[in-house]
Amino acid sequence: MQSPLYTTMAVVGAGAMGRGIAQIAAQAGSRVRLFDAQAAAVDKAVREIGSQWDRLQEKGRMDAAAVQACKSRLLPAGDIAELADCQLVVEAVVERLDVKKELFARLESVVAAEAVLATNTSSLSVTAIAAGLQRPGRLAGYHFFNPVPLMKVVEVIAGLRTEPAACEQLAAYARQMGHTPVQAQDTPGFIVNHAGRGYGTEALRIAAEGVADFATIDRILRDQAGFRLGPFELLDLTALDVSHPVMESIYRQYYDEARYRPSVITAQRLAGGLLGRKSGEGFYRYVDGKAQVPPEPAAPQVGEVPPVWVSTRAARRQELYQLLKELGAKIETGQSPSLNALTLVAPLGFDVTTVAVVERLDPARTVGIDLLVEDAATRRRVLATNPATRADMRDAAHALFARDGKPVSVIRDSGGFVTQRVLATIVNIAADICQQRICTPKDLETAVTLGLGYPMGPLAMGDRWGPANVLEVLFNMQTVYGDPRYRPSPWLRRRGAIGLSLLQEEA
């Protein structure tokens, strides 16, 4: 085993996060002193970490000698004075600025002048935490994610006065612990919690508009965009008593920036105790730990599908024609639809209503289909009606697009459907993180894929579906909603204008 950068380090806080950090530090070869204001919590944590190592041995992932060595390096501390010989102290206590500042003031009087201090804060300012120290330059952010042994990314955050050497050492130590460090500036949410604002908050806006229910939105984003969990499944997993305060904190710290606006839905559910899995009910109800998901409506039975006319402005128009042929549709190719035709539009960012009015189509016979992502790459099709769409036209479109067995979701009118607006919001926020120089595009992609488990990084998403298309979605959504939330980041707008990859670093 490589000699650890810090032979003796300490973790303050014996909760789940502190236990995880202590575990991987001991596995990396460091002697770890674990301290908590509650002595009983330390004893419990030592037992639980030891049990984790025992399970790893049972699975053949650690041998008996390695387990015994790790256990010998994990040392409970009964008093903060016992941390005096530690070269690094990582704080993992409650997310309160006053508590953290008081703790670091005590630590500064105990540890050596050259010791590095690190805070595991997820939402507080590293600069503010360090402000009361005599040597604020030795304090940096060191943000791990739960469960620490499995979540292999750690954000290394420089406060305004953090010395570069402190961040370099913490990054090197993270690698020794088997984690991937990413460098971030001290801004609200850092990288992962900042970049993650788009997924949940935009899904909540969609639900608040009555576009679709929670289960339908989850299905669409799993099947069309490839997310492993839908946004409401994810909110139930993380629990609203954790996720909603983070939404509010980042929103307020950015002085009510519209891109990060929270939702009254989560505020109300938090107040009502519908926290998610851990409370037995959230956006879903849980029985024996399993979500009770309402069944998906079956495709309607339709006697005869009317002829289909496709808008001349439809996205992926040729692909749509080919799909209709494969589904056996009768296709009209005139300049305008006949009086009996089902009219299909495929807008980017606009709602079906706007397209029908602008193109002078009969709204009663007009249905939209989301084709930002090519049909062959999705496991679900999404159709949208407008307020005037006739039920027979809606059912005919649903039946037609379900002919080959691919699931179809029919939603109410929405600028950007579901997938377009969520993906565009994610890409736009990521672009603005790069605009603010919070981190490099490379570290952004690494942090999001490892920290959030997205199918690809947000900038790669932008490249995959085209910066110009993402910009079109955003510009058109801003027109539909009149909300500055959808204004494109200058970083994205400039790259889209000149056809530059979002992943390309600037000279």
Catalytic residues: 122, 143, 155, 193
* Angle subtended at Cα 152 by Cα 7 and Cα 446, rounded to the nearest 5 degrees: 120
Nearest to 17 by CA among 127, 94, 117: 94
Alpha-carbon distance 355 to 312, whole Å?
A: 11
* Angle subtended at Cα 303 by Cα 300 and Cα 304, rounded to the nearest 5 degrees: 110
Alpha-carbon distance 290 to 282, whole Å?
A: 12
Structure tokens given for 484: 């500055």
The DSSP result for 349-415, as a single string, is SS-HHHHHHHTT--GGGEEEE--SS-GGG-S-EEEE--TT--HHHHHHHHHHHTTTS--EEEE---T
The SS3 call for residue 8 is strand
C-beta separation of 115 from 88 below 8 A: yes
Phi-psi region of 190 (alpha: psi -120 to 50; beta: other; left: phi over 0): left
Nearest to 262 by CA among 272, 252, 271: 252
DSSP code at position 83: G
Nearest to 72 by CA among 86, 53, 93, 98: 53
* Angle subtended at Cα 376 by Cα 442 and Cα 396, rounded to the nearest 5 degrees: 130
C-beta separation of 174 from 30 below 8 A: no
At residue 404, what is the residue type? D
Buried b (16+ CB within 10 A) or exposed e, 147-181: ebbebbbbbbbbbebbbeebbebbbebbebbebbb
Distances (CA, A) of 344 to 324, 338, 420: 11, 13, 17
Distances (CA, A) of 410 to 104, 224, 381: 54, 13, 9
Nearest to 425 by CA among 488, 493, 352: 488
DSSP code at position 131: T
At residue 196, what is the residue type? G
Alpha-carbon distance 193 to 254, whole Å?
A: 13
Nearest to 116 by CA among 94, 128, 96, 133: 133
C-beta separation of 282 from 276 below 8 A: yes
